[in-house]
Amino acid sequence: MLYYIFTYLDQKIDLIGAGLFRYISFRAGMAAVLSLLITILYGKRLIAFLKRKQVGEEIRELGLEGQLQKKGTPTMGGLIIIAAILLPTFLMSNLN
């Protein structure tokens, strides 16, 4: 989506640096950086939110060593991974 915005700005306003979005290597690098930032900025917040909502691991008594250490661990932490992949992909891609 940002591809189309910066293409428009490059053609109409001749914005300096807007032409970089034509290169897939630049968009891939920016998507990687954005993915890292999403993970760093929102990862702890999402885990804390999941703990508050008590979305945690159910522990069964099987007598396994280290089993009780996982009690209360959020099981839906993969949401941050999915968000960190999908958001930069949609923002930086050329949807043609």
How confident is the model at residue 47, as a pLDDT? 82
Query: pTM of the predicted model, to two decimals?
Result: 0.72
Tens of pLDDT, residue by residue, the chain (96 residues): 888 888 888 889 988 888 888 899 999 999 999 999 999 999 888 888 887 877 766 666 766 666 666 666 666 778 889 999 999 999 998 888
Residue boundaries of the structural domains of the chain: 24-92
Write down the pLDDT at residue 51.
79
**Residue 18 pLDDT:** 84
DSSP calls for 28-80: HHHHHHHHHHHHHHHHHHHHHHHHHTT-BPPPP----TTGGGGTT-BS-THHH
Residue 55 exposed, middle or buried by CB count within 10 Å (0-12, 13-18, 19+): middle
pLDDT score for 85: 94
Residues making up the chain, counted from first to last: 96
